[in-house]
Amino acid sequence: MPGTLLANRKIAITIISIIILMLLSMGGAYLGGLKQKQLMDSVNPQLNPSISELGKLIQKGETPEVLQHQLKILISNHEQFGDLFIINQDATIIAAKDTNAVGLAYPIMFTSNMFKGLPLPFAYKKSEMPPPSNSYTVMSNPNLMFKVFGSYKAPDNNLYHIIGNYHVSSTINEQLDRFGYYTMLCMRVYHICFILFWLLLAIWVYQDARRRPTNAAAWGILTLFTNVIGWLVYLIARPMLSLCPNCNQEQSNDLKFCTSCGALLKSCCTECGGELKGEWEYCGSCGHKMG
C-alpha cells in the first residue's frame, strides 16, 4: 500500500515540524515571561530589600500591629507606592496603607499558577473569591502596576502575601503590555501544537500498524490515551517489515508473495511449496533434496 506509506511519512514530517514549533513557542513564552519579570524588577529595585524586611517580620510571627506599623514606614520611605497590603491565604487584609481596609477582603481573582515566577501566587477557585460586599475597593489606575512582591510563611504555617501597586512609566507599561501579549500568543501556539502532537502521534501509530499484521485500532487507541508511552511500546512490539526485492515496497514478514507486485518473497521448496531456510539442504516439510 504505497499510499498509506506516503501518508504516514507526511504525518511523521508534520509531527517533527510541530515538535520544533512547540519548542520554539515554549522558548518564546519563557523569554517573554523572563523579560516581563526583568522589566518589573527594574522598576523599583530599591523596593525589594524593604519588602523582604517586612517578609522577615511575617516569618518571625510578629503581630498584625507590628506589621501594620512597619508597612506604614515602608510606604512613607517609598513614594512610588500607590497601595500596599499584607493579605492572608483567604485574601483577608491584615495590614494596609489605608487602615480602613484591614479586615476586609482583597478583591483578587486567584488563578492557577501556570508559571513559577509569574505574579500569580496560588491556585484559587473562582467560587472561593471573597464576597464583593466584604471586599475592599482597590483604586484602578493605568499608571499603577499590580505586583505580588512576595509570599511568606508565618510560624503558624499560614501563608501571607505582600501585594500592592506602584507607579511605573508609560514606556515600561507599554513594554510590559507588549511582552505580555507576546507571551500569551506563544502559549496559545504551544497549547495548539501540544494537542495536534497528541492526536497526530496516535494517527501515525494507527497508520503504521495498518501495514503490519497487528491490531491497528488497538495500538491507535492505546497511543491516544498514553501518548509517548504507547508510541514507544508500539515501536518495540510492532512486527517487522521487509522490502520486496522486486518493487522495493515494505511487506509484512509473514507474507510469501509481495502484495504490490506479486513477487515471491521467500524461497520455497519446488516440490511441496513449503518455506525454506537458507542453510537447509533438504526441505523441512517433505524431505526433498535442494538443488
Residues that bind Zn ion (CB under 5 A): 244, 246-247, 258, 260-261, 263, 269, 271-272, 274, 283, 285-286, 288
CB 289 within 8 A of CB 282: yes
CB 238 within 8 A of CB 209: yes
How many Cβ atoms sit within 10 Å of the Cβ of residue 77?
Answer: 11
CB of 241 to Zn ion, least distance (A): 12
Closer CB to Zn ion, 195 or 272, in the complex: 272
Closer CB to Zn ion, 104 or 244, in the complex: 244
Pairwise CA distance, residues 75 & 4, whole Å: 69
CB of 270 to Zn ion, least distance (A): 8
CB of 272 to Zn ion, least distance (A): 3
Closer CB to Zn ion, 162 or 244, in the complex: 244
DSSP 3-state of 1: coil
Q: Residue 71 — left, alpha, or beta (φ > 0 → left; ψ -120 to 50 → alpha)? A: alpha
Q: Which cell numbers in the block locate residue 244? A: 520486496
Closer CB to Zn ion, 53 or 271, in the complex: 271
Helix pair angle (64-77, 47-60), 10° resolution: 170
CB of 18 to Zn ion, least distance (A): 33
CB of 112 to Zn ion, least distance (A): 56
Length in residues, the chain: 291
Closer CB to Zn ion, 161 or 212, in the complex: 212
CB of 278 to Zn ion, least distance (A): 15
Closer CB to Zn ion, 105 or 283, in the complex: 283
Pairwise CA distance, residues 125 & 166, whole Å: 27
* Nearest alpha-carbon partner for 146 in 129, 126, 131, 166: 166
Q: Residue 141 — left, alpha, or beta (φ > 0 → left; ψ -120 to 50 → alpha)? A: beta
Pairwise CA distance, residues 218 & 141, whole Å: 57
